[in-house]
Amino acid sequence: MDITVIGLILVVCMLLMLTSGIWVALTLTGISIIGLQLIGNDSIGLLLGTSSWSAVTGWSLTALPLFIWMGEILFRTRLSQDLFEGLSPMLSRFPGKLLHVNILSCGIFAAVSGSSAATAATIGRMTLPELSRRGYNDTMAIGTLAGSGTLGLLIPPSIILIVYGVSAEVSIARLFLAGVMPGLVLILLFMAFTAGWTLMQGRKGEVADNVQYSTKEKLQALKKLIPIVLLIGGVLGSIYQGIATPTEAAAFGVAGSLLLSAMLGSFTLRGFIDSVAGAVKNSCMLGLILVGAHFLTLAMGFIGIPNALATWIADLGLSPIELIIYLTVFFVIMGCFLDGISVIVLTTSVVLPMVTQANIDLLWFGIFLVLVVEMSQITPPVGFNLFVIQALTGKNILYVAKAALPFFFMIAIAIVLITMYPEIVLYLPTMMTS
């Protein structure tokens, strides 16, 4: 059967299954089974068995439940309150006020987490209930979280950059350095959009929150940030000094959070059990999706759809800028159906020779790829940040996607910026070599 026909059948099946309300993870598995049937594969079950096994036994993946658990623990302490009380005085005159806390705390947390979903989960656990309590616009609260949660992918340590570094044979240390400035650019873009939106709305999105602070109060408030800064500094420091891998740092973070919770007097056995239950629910939800996505990636590889698409783009013979534009579109479409790491692994082998030939710097391309994957994290139907935020808020996935849309465009602007000014990416790594 022609690959285009198979592709179309699968897209139709997937849309049908998803819209009728079949669980996303099971849909991914179901689609893969159908696709493999269509090409007459005779060992589908065996592939599913081995794929499920390898999908959730990776060492780097163990950081995900740990960071989710850390968030669940911190969520049940007074720390979320302290974070707000510490940051809000500084932002009380800035248009958008506490919406910026979402962005800034995601940016900070991204420095201890390699995963976009974990960042959104941890920060969202802290900030969403507070923003809702203070009467902020729900759409903006969810949008800022979905958008800045994706910073977890870009700001080091980043699992996705490690995957890219290995398959593209680019130095991971240099990739980590390269991710810093684009990350800051994104934070600025998000904050600028939030401030601009608030001003255009006549600041009505923050109308319920009109608390004012004196300078002394602001200094007092800053003290409340010390515990969280220590915790994040400990987790971050252990990674940067090379004492620990992200997973170990995450385990360290769990222990540190429990200790902090005890010191703040908010530790209870009930709270501990609840935090484990919460971590289990979120990890299992994401875990089953990873099982489905891993199998889908495998099935797609067998059918040859990603390769066919990549080859088709390569055949068009384009200038570097055109190539980047088409690749962006291509990756965004792929990212709608496949998880970010799968997109990277499946396409690096096909796309990289083409990229090298077009004289595009592989270090730059890695950051570009991560930015595009960030966009795909907030596009339905398969956008991990959307799933995480849907689980956190109980809001419909399309509602969350719509709320995140402006931040999708902010990431697009960041891609344009790094394309026009590659120095944003390359400056710090060049400093390292000289």
- Binding residues (CB under 8 A) for another protein: these are 17-26, 29-30, 33, 45-46, 48-50, 52-53, 56-59, 61-62, 65-66, 69, 244, 247-248, 250-252, 254-255, 273, 276-277, 279-285, 287-291, 381, 387, 390-391, 393-398
DSSP 380: S
Residue 6 CB, nearest approach to another protein (Å): 19
Q: Which of 103, 314, 296 is nearest to 193 (CA)?
A: 103
CB nearer to another protein: give 207 or 243. 243
C-alpha to C-alpha distance for 369 and 306, rounded to whole angstroms = 16
C-alpha span between 175 and 178 (Å, rounded): 5
Nearer to another protein, 290 or 369 (CB): 290
Contact 235, 256 (CB under 8 A): yes
Report the nearest approach of another protein to the CB of residue 112 (Å): 15
Q: Nearest distance from residue 82's CB to another protein, in Å? A: 24
Is 350 exposed, middle or buried, given 0-12, 13-18 or 19+ CB atoms closer than 10 A? Answer: middle
In the 8-state DSSP scheme, what is residue 382? S
Least Å from the CB of residue 245 to another protein: 9
Answer yes or no: are the C-beta atoms of 151 and 114 closer than 8 Å: no
Tokens standing for residue 339: 């998880």
Is the CB of 28 or the CB of 370 nearer to another protein? 28
CB of 381 to another protein, least distance (A): 7
CB nearer another protein, residue 61 or residue 298: 61
Nearer to another protein, 60 or 430 (CB): 60
Whole-angstrom distance, CA of residue 431 vs CA of residue 434: 5
Nearer to another protein, 264 or 285 (CB): 285
DSSP state of 97: T
**In the complex with another protein, which residue's Cβ is closer, 186 or 286?**
286
Residue with tokens 């908010």: 266
Picking from 124, 120, 110, the residue whose alpha carbon sits closest to that of residue 239 is 110
The CB-of-192 to another protein minimum distance in angstroms stands at 30
Least distance CB 17 / another protein (angstroms) = 7
Helices 116-133 and 99-110 cross at an angle (nearest 10°) of 160
Q: Is 304 left (phi over 0), alpha (psi -120 to 50) or beta?
A: left
